[in-house]
Chain A
Amino acid sequence: MGCVEALNYEILIRGASFKECREYIRSHFPESIDVEPGFKIFDVHTIGVPPIAVGIDGDFVIFPYTKPCHGTFLLRVQDAEEAARLRVLKKGR
């Protein structure tokens, strides 16, 4: 089980809906990959209505993070390895 607090994240959107996050990622970032709920990013299992869009922008990964009382946050985390992993995954599809 991962903890998002261990990440050095930037909040791009807070209190959003899952639809808003998906649309924001697809319209604001050069690359994105659709994943299923439960998909692990940075040791965190993603929560959402499929397909869940995850953005890739250089070394940054942009992904939704949902909490029961606060809705969905769109987080941006710099991590070259995770960005590369997602790119490989996308290429393999």
Chain B
Amino acid sequence: MEPDTIAQPPKTALLVLGCPQVPVQTSIALYLVSRLKSAGITPVIAGNKAANTLLVVADPDRHYLGEITDLDRAVAQITEKKRDFDQCFVFIHNDAGISYAATMGVISKATLYVLVYGEHQEDIVQQITFPCIKMAAKAVHNPLPLKKVIDEVAPWAA
């Protein structure tokens, strides 16, 4: 007789968005959400109002997006141990992004991935000294260099 298998809950991932002033963020976020969902991982987006609205307007029928939440609310829930995730992806193109990633590394038990892009990505990468998996490319308007790096890491297969 074969032992009963215990169903594992689906994996979850939090995508922490930065300021949406760099165009590749919205595109890469939708791409990553799609790949995670295809792999059976439930993605949750956390951003400020502008970053979240860019995504919602781009996906009106919610083919890709699932839950979307306010960034401050997500930080509060994780800090207060009311919620956590298996994976956390932080989008970084400025100093504030580094701060949010470091914060996630402390408050969450999730495997931390950082997506670094924009004009100053090399400087930013050097400032990230806390443990995380880095995916970086000099992508501003064209998301393909960053997509290529993400595909090589394939975090959805981890």
Contacts and interface: CB of A to CB of B under 8 A. Distances in A.
Contacts of A48: 99, 102-103
B20 to A, nearest CB: 8
Contact of A36 (B17, B100, B106, B130): B106
Classify the interface of chain B: helix, strand, loop or mixed.
helix
A18 interface: yes
A45 B13 CA distance: 21
Range, interface on chain B:
20 to 34
Nearest to B102: A49
A50 B95 contact: no
B146 to A, nearest CB: 18
22 contacts: A17-B95, A18-B95, A36-B106, A37-B99, A38-B75, A38-B106, A38-B107, A40-B79, A45-B75, A45-B76, A46-B103, A48-B99, A48-B102, A48-B103, A49-B98, A50-B106, A66-B100, A68-B48, A68-B51, A69-B50, A69-B96, A72-B95
Classify the interface of chain A: helix, strand, loop or mixed.
loop
Interface in B101-148: 102-103, 106-107, 130
